[in-house]
């Protein structure tokens, strides 16, 4: 630490050991940030290869087996090594203790352990990729995965198994922290919705992830020891696998989207200078989604061979979970009503999130409708739908959150003009990539097709989609470049660059190791923008 410089979590200690053995939630968040960014670009690279292959109907860029590995590993890397940890492990880790007025998470060492588990899982995944990959599809459907493939199914399964424990431990840490570590006066009804969102997410991580772990272990057992669990030739039931897999993997969608909803609530309030519209409804909606989200898994299986009446019940329940999602969209919109709105980069991402999440959610209603689902399930319609939620929703929110809190994390401002440009590129590129896929799906193009030379009518829309993907790629690379640039050349950030409400803006940027010099006492409600006289400063 240079003399005269304020001590922060970044300059308190130097050296590789001070990072790898840190128990500071903020440093661990940065470890996660580096790791998930690495995996994001690996997954993104696979996605670009997929899009390039689909530019022409014939299978010409890569072989069929390679293509199958590309979409499998794209899915596994993006879901388990980017989307699920992204917001909780980076922004949640960094912000939750500060937002509730605590020095750290409840279990700092467990927090570090969860990063190491993530890294071990990630290393296994990299080993799988570098040794020839895996081609089960990210869904591992049996008996294909247990009996018929010669690729690295076991290591891929174990990679996700281990990373799952990282997710469980993070969830556990957040639940305990939220219950036990809140500052005096920080009542449940004063928690920022960001914290509520992570609380709901953590419950899903705690209750759902073990089921995935068990399922993957059973896959490994059937594959290695021929225990007849899922393979009918051994007396097993392939639908049992699908039930177990989706029992986790549907709620996993909410692990990905709920933290994003938390971010958007913070951003919309700040840049509208308003208290959130319907705080209680928003918090309850988060919990409602987490709970009802556990009861809808079989809507992935309407044509899989489940009974007529089971399908009807799961269709009905799927509509129940849509209601709290609708409530959230209406409340964000209403929060802007009579606000004083400015359009900094985080707000642009929040606009993008609301729009794309709305479209992703509404197309989910199509899929929940049995008569439509039969036609469009396992087509590009589904691919487009879940990318609208997971990329259009979640990644937009993640980037919005990164811009919003980057001054706090790094102590530097990002360049606003570039930020807005990147946000625009991401929005345009995203829609160009995925909107055509809705139409492709209704036309009947099945997903996971390497070669569509039998149906040249699909080509035009695929070309559009690939064009969009290149724009999207530029939109994703830009922030990485200017964030790195800003760490050295960015304008030093004030403690509260947006004049935002919330404890995290009352500590210095970047915060000291223990966040608060003295124990804060909370006497205000969340989003008390009525008490903050300053507006958001005008961007240069």
Partner 1 sequence: MANNVDALYIFLLVVSGMMTVAIFTLVLVFAVRYRKRPGQRAEQIDGSHALEITWSLIPFCIFMVFFAWGAIIFFQERKPPQNSAEVYTVAKQWMWKFEHMEGQREINELHVPIGRDVKMIMTSQDVIHSFFVPAFRIKQDVLPGRYTVAWFHATKAGTYHLFCAEYCGTMHSGMVGSVVVMEPKDYEAWMGGGGNQPLAVTGEKLFTELGCVTCHRSDTQGRGPNLVSIFGKPVLLEDGRTVVADENYIRESILQPGAKIVNGFKPIMPTFQGQISDEQLNALVAYVKSLSQAPSGQTGGRKMATATP
Is 302 near partner 1 (CB under 8 A)? yes
Cα angle 80-84-88, degrees, rounded to a multiple of 5: 145
Per CB under 8 A, the list member of 126, 154, 370, 467 interacting with partner 1 is: 370
The neighbouring-strand residues paired with 492 are 412
Is 474 near partner 1 (CB under 8 A)? no
Is 455 near partner 1 (CB under 8 A)? yes
Is 214 near partner 1 (CB under 8 A)? no
Shortest distance, position 521 Cβ to partner 1, whole Å? 23
DSSP 84-118: HHIIIIIIIHHHHHHHTT-SS-S-HHHHHHHHHHH
The neighbouring-strand residues paired with 412 are 492
User: What tokens appear for 451 in the block?
Assistant: 């070669």
Per CB under 8 A, the list member of 144, 176, 240, 463 interacting with partner 1 is: 144
User: What tokens appear for 58 in the block?
Assistant: 């014939």
Q: Which is nearer to partner 1, 278 or 494 (CB)?
A: 278
| Residue 530 contacts residue 493 (beta carbons within 8 Å) | no
| Cα-Cα-Cα-Cα dihedral sign, residues 350, 355, 358, 359 | negative
Q: What is the CB-side half-sphere exposure of residue 465 using CA atoms within 13 A?
A: 27
Cα angle 70-387-244, degrees, rounded to a multiple of 5: 75
Is 377 near partner 1 (CB under 8 A)? yes
Is 497 near partner 1 (CB under 8 A)? no
| Residue 337 contacts residue 286 (beta carbons within 8 Å) | no
Q: Stretches 144-152, 400-408, 484-492, 502-510: which one binds partner 1 (CB under 8 A)?
A: 144-152
Q: Stretches 17-25, 78-86, 276-284, 493-501: which one binds partner 1 (CB under 8 A)?
A: 276-284
Is 108 near partner 1 (CB under 8 A)? no
Q: Stretches 156-164, 186-194, 320-328, 513-521: which one binds partner 1 (CB under 8 A)?
A: 320-328
Q: Stretches 348-356, 385-393, 469-477, 485-493: which one binds partner 1 (CB under 8 A)?
A: 348-356
DSSP state of 305: T
| Cα-Cα-Cα-Cα dihedral sign, residues 259, 265, 266, 268 | positive
How far is Cα of residue 145 from the mean position of the Cα atoms in its chain? 26
Is 448 near partner 1 (CB under 8 A)? yes
Q: Is 429 exposed, middle or buried (0-12, 13-18, 19+ CB in 10 A)?
A: buried
Is 239 near partner 1 (CB under 8 A)? yes
Per CB under 8 A, the list member of 5, 16, 337, 488 interacting with partner 1 is: 337
Place of tokens 């090594």: 81
Per CB under 8 A, the list member of 83, 311, 423, 425 interacting with partner 1 is: 311
Q: Is 456 exposed, middle or buried (0-12, 13-18, 19+ CB in 10 A)?
A: exposed
Q: Which is nearer to partner 1, 393 or 490 (CB)?
A: 393
Q: Which is nearer to partner 1, 388 or 483 (CB)?
A: 388
Per CB under 8 A, the list member of 199, 449, 482, 483 interacting with partner 1 is: 449
Place of tokens 């292959």: 53
Is 450 near partner 1 (CB under 8 A)? yes
Per CB under 8 A, the list member of 178, 202, 315, 433 interacting with partner 1 is: 315
Is 439 near partner 1 (CB under 8 A)? no
Shortest distance, position 446 Cβ to partner 1, whole Å? 5
- Residues near partner 1 (CB under 8 A), total: 90
Shortest distance, position 64 Cβ to partner 1, whole Å? 5
Per CB under 8 A, the list member of 206, 327, 424, 506 interacting with partner 1 is: 327
Q: Which is nearer to partner 1, 94 or 302 (CB)?
A: 302
Shortest distance, position 535 Cβ to partner 1, whole Å? 6
Count of beta carbons in the 10 Å neighbourhood of residue 337? 9
Is 281 near partner 1 (CB under 8 A)? yes
Q: What is the CB-side half-sphere exposure of residue 169 using CA atoms within 13 A?
A: 18
Is 333 near partner 1 (CB under 8 A)? yes
Is 176 near partner 1 (CB under 8 A)? no
What is the distance between the alpha carbons of residues 321 and 387, in angstroms, rounded to a whole number?
A: 19
Three-state secondary structure call for residue 406: helix
What is the distance between the alpha carbons of residues 24 and 18, in angstroms, rounded to a whole number?
A: 10
What is the distance between the alpha carbons of residues 238 and 215, in angstroms, rounded to a whole number?
A: 12
Q: Which is nearer to partner 1, 124 or 501 (CB)?
A: 501
Per CB under 8 A, the list member of 184, 232, 417, 456 interacting with partner 1 is: 232
What does the per-residue mask of binding to partner 1 show for 9-48, with x meaning CB under 8 A?
----------------------------------------
Q: Which is nearer to partner 1, 113 or 281 (CB)?
A: 281
What is the distance between the alpha carbons of residues 312 and 124, in angstroms, rounded to a whole number?
A: 40
Per CB under 8 A, the list member of 443, 463, 467, 478 interacting with partner 1 is: 443
What is the distance between the alpha carbons of residues 209 and 204, in angstroms, rounded to a whole number?
A: 8
Q: Which is nearer to partner 1, 427 or 483 (CB)?
A: 427
DSSP 155-195: HHHHHHHHHHHHHHHHHHHHHHHHHH-PPTT--GGGS-HHH
What is the distance between the alpha carbons of residues 430 and 465, in angstroms, rounded to a whole number?
A: 9
Shortest distance, position 305 Cβ to partner 1, whole Å? 5
Q: Stretches 162-170, 172-180, 204-212, 358-366: which one binds partner 1 (CB under 8 A)?
A: 358-366
Is 540 near partner 1 (CB under 8 A)? no
Per CB under 8 A, the list member of 108, 210, 278, 512 interacting with partner 1 is: 278
Per CB under 8 A, the list member of 43, 373, 509, 515 interacting with partner 1 is: 373
What is the distance between the alpha carbons of residues 213 and 216, in angstroms, rounded to a whole number?
A: 5
Q: Which is nearer to partner 1, 3 or 307 (CB)?
A: 307
């Amino acid at each position: 630490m240079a003399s005269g410089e304020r001590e922060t979590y970044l300059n308190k200690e130097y050296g590789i050991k001070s990072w790898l053995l840190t128990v500071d939630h903020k440093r661990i968040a940065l470890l996660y940030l580096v790791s998930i960014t690495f995996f994001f670009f690996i997954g993104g690279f696979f996605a670009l290869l997929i899009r390039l292959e689909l530019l022409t109907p014939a299978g010409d860029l890569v072989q069929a087996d390679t293509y199958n590995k590309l979409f499998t590993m794209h899915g596994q890397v993006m879901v388990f090594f980017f989307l699920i940890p992204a917001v909780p492990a980076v922004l949640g880790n960094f912000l939750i203790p500060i937002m509730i007025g605590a020095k750290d998470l409840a279990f700092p060492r467990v927090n570090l352990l969860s990063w190491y588990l993530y890294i071990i899982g990630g290393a296994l995944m990299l080993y799988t990729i570098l040794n020839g990959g895996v081609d089960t599809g990210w869904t591992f459907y049996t008996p294909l995965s247990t009996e018929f493939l010669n690729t690295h199914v076991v290591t891929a399964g174990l990679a996700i198994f281990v990373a799952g424990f990282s997710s469980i431990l993070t969830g556990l840490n957040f639940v305990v922290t939220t219950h036990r570590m809140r500052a005096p006066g920080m009542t449940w009804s004063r928690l920022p919705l960001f914290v509520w969102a992570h609380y709901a997410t953590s419950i899903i991580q705690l209750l759902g992830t073990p089921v995935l772990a068990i399922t993957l272990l059973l896959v490994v057992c059937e594959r290695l020891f021929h225990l007849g669990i899922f393979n009918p030739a051994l007396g097993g039931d392939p639908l049992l696998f699908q039930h177990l897999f989706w029992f986790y993997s549907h709620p996993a969608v909410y692990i990905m989207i709920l933290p994003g909803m938390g971010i958007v609530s913070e951003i919309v309030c700040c840049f509208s200078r308003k208290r959130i519209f319907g705080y209680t409804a928003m918090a309850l909606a988060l919990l409602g989604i987490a709970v009802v989200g556990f009861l809808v898994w079989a809507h992935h299986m309407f044509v899989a061979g489940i009974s007529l009446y089971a399908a009807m019940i799961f269709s009905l329940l799927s509509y129940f979970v849509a209601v709290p999602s609708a409530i959230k969209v209406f409340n964000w919109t209403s929060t802007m009503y009579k606000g004083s709105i400015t359009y900094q980069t985080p707000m642009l991402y929040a606009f993008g999130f609301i729009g794309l999440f709305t479209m992703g959610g509404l197309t989910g209603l199509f899929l929940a409708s049995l008569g439509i689902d039969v036609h469009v399930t396992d087509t590009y319609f589904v691919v487009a739908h879940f990318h609208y939620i997971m990329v259009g929703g979640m990644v937009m929110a993640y980037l919005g959150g990164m811009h919003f809190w980057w001054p706090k994390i790094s102590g530097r401002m990002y360049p606003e003009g570039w930020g807005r440009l990147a946000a625009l590129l991401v929005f345009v590129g995203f829609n160009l990539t995925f909107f055509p896929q809705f139409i492709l799906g209704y036309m009947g193009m099945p997903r996971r097709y390497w070669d569509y030379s039998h149906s040249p009518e699909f080509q035009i829309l695929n070309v559009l989609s690939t064009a969009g993907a290149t724009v999207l790629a530029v939109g994703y690379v830009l922030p990485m470049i200017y964030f790195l640039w800003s760490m050295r050349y960015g304008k030093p950030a004030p403690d509260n660059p947006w004049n935002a409400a919330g404890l995290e803006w009352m500590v210095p940027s970047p915060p000291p190791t223990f966040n608060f010099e003295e124990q804060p006492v909370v006497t205000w409600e969340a989003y008390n923008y009525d008490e903050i006289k300053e507006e958001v400063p005008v961007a240069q």
